[in-house]
Structure 1
Amino acid sequence: QMYDHAETHPAAANFPFELARIRLAHGIRLRHTQGPKAARQLLLRAAEAFERLGAPTWTERARAEMRASGLATRATSAQLAELTWQERRIADLAALGLTNKEIGERMRLSPRTVSSHLYRVFPKLGITSRAALRDALARLEDERDI
């Protein structure tokens, strides 16, 4: 009840960072008490607000809570910039459907090294599988074109 009161307060819009923190806390509370589905909308609104405010640490925290609630998070252009050139190249090849062994042969790396790079790429893009890799990279390219 207090979360709702704080979120609907007439002056709440004047304090966007605090409002986003309240929404994040409320979303975490809902996820633990009422289940993941009840929290998703608040967590999404908090993550979007933190991103608009340029608060990357808070954005990532909200995204982690979103993932915990089962909501897929989309990668942003800032996350694409976090990929090293080698991670990006490996991600592109994996998105084309190449196996770790095939990627390794092309880039003169061991399949285990390729796997290690992909292990670091997935969280940066907010995905959990190779199947989602192509779509995440395509969304990033679309954002870059805008």
Structure 2
Amino acid sequence: MERRRRRVGSGRQEAASKEPTARPPGSRRPEPSHLYLGERLRRAKAPARARTHLSAAAEALGRLGAHPWTERAHQGLRACGTPVPRPGASALTPQQRETARLAATGLTNKQIAEKPGLSPRTVSTHLHQLFPKLGIASGAALRDALERLDHP
């Protein structure tokens, strides 16, 4: 009996020791492992490597419906500098869509405000609110984001 236990135990240890510590995102590693490794890499100042693991974790955990874990992966991606749409970011309001369309053409906030009769400060607020909804960080990406929104 004891010999059997030793063999089973030693087999587990051998299998565990042969397993590599860092697998690429396409592997069959469980999603929380991608999340953990991505967080560790981000903290170790390796954001480019962390992004691959965090995005794989976010995608897989999102498919599984593990929302708290998905949000944790999204937070890690944001910390790495990757724009990620915030949860509950619904479609743009008609006023935000019109403001975004005008801003994508290259108009200034003051010029945009003249068209629908808004104040430049309101235009600035609309743009500030819609950037996270579209998952972008600058006005330069606005045109492409609107195209993705209109033609998914």
Counterpart secondary structure, 2:106: coil
Q: Could you say which residue in structure 2 is the equivalent of 1:20?
A: 31
Matched, 1:140 2:149: yes
AA at the equivalent of 1:127: I
RMSD: 3.1
Q: Could you say which residue in structure 2 is the equivalent of 1:47?
A: 58
Q: So what's the TM-score if we normalise by structure 1?
A: 0.70
Matched, 1:30 2:70: no
Q: Could you say which residue in structure 2 is the equivalent of 1:113?
A: 122
Q: Which has the larger radius of gyration?
A: 2
The structure with the greater share of residues assigned to helix is 1
Counterpart secondary structure, 1:82: coil
Distance in 2 separating the partners of 1:56 and 1:93: 35
Matched, 1:128 2:137: yes
Counterpart secondary structure, 2:115: helix
Distance in 2 separating the partners of 1:30 and 1:142: 35
Change (3 A) 1:58 1:101: farther
Matched, 1:92 2:101: yes
In the TM superposition, residue 57 of structure 1 has moved relative to its aligned partner by 5.5
Q: So what's the TM-score if we normalise by structure 2?
A: 0.68
User: Unmatched 5+ residue regions in structure 1?
Assistant: 14-18
Count of residue correspondences: 130
Identity among equivalent positions (%) equals 51
User: Unmatched 5+ residue regions in structure 2?
Assistant: 1-15
In the TM superposition, residue 55 of structure 1 has moved relative to its aligned partner by 5.2
Partner deviation per Cα, 1:80-138 (whole Å, 9 max, x = no partner): x3322222221111112221112111121110111011111111211111101111111
